[in-house]
Amino acid sequence: MKNWRQKLGEQGEALAIRRLKKAGYKIIETNYRTRLGEIDIIAKDKDTLVFVEVKTRTSVHFGSPKLAITPKKQKKISMAALYYLKMTDQSSARARFDVVTIISNRDAPQVEIIKNAFDLAYA
């Protein structure tokens, strides 16, 4: 049985997918998991492969969802992305990291797509 955080995360990812599609992204894969880390959404934006991290919060009481993308989290996403590129024989593909932040309040949720949110972090 899923707890409320897991449900909130799933709802946030579903909303992020809808918004990304509306913005012209083509969704390739969701919840890509490796022993190195997880990528919430892998998509194509024109000729660029995009690794998307989704952060959903119910408020900004504890800070913006952007702040949850720590250097440690960026490294885990980067390692999973490099693994994905290698396993799918796309090592030379143009790629970037986007973040979708969602503040899900009772009214209309606030969704922001941040392109090129961070650079590859593997050191």
Residue 22's pLDDT band (boundaries 50, 70, 90)?
A: very high
Instruction: From residue 123, give the alpha-carbon distance in Å to each of 17, 71, 72, 75, 94.
Output: 30, 10, 10, 8, 20
Quick: pLDDT tens for 24-57: 999 999 999 999 999 999 999 999 999 999 998 8
Residues 17 and 28 sit within 8 Å (Cβ to Cβ)? no
Residue 123's pLDDT band (boundaries 50, 70, 90)?
A: low
The CATH class of 4-118 is alpha beta
* pLDDT greater than 70 at residue 92: yes
pLDDT of residue 95: 96
Q: How far apart are the C-alpha atoms of 78 and 48, rounded to whole Å?
A: 16
Q: How far apart are the C-alpha atoms of 28 and 50, rounded to whole Å?
A: 10
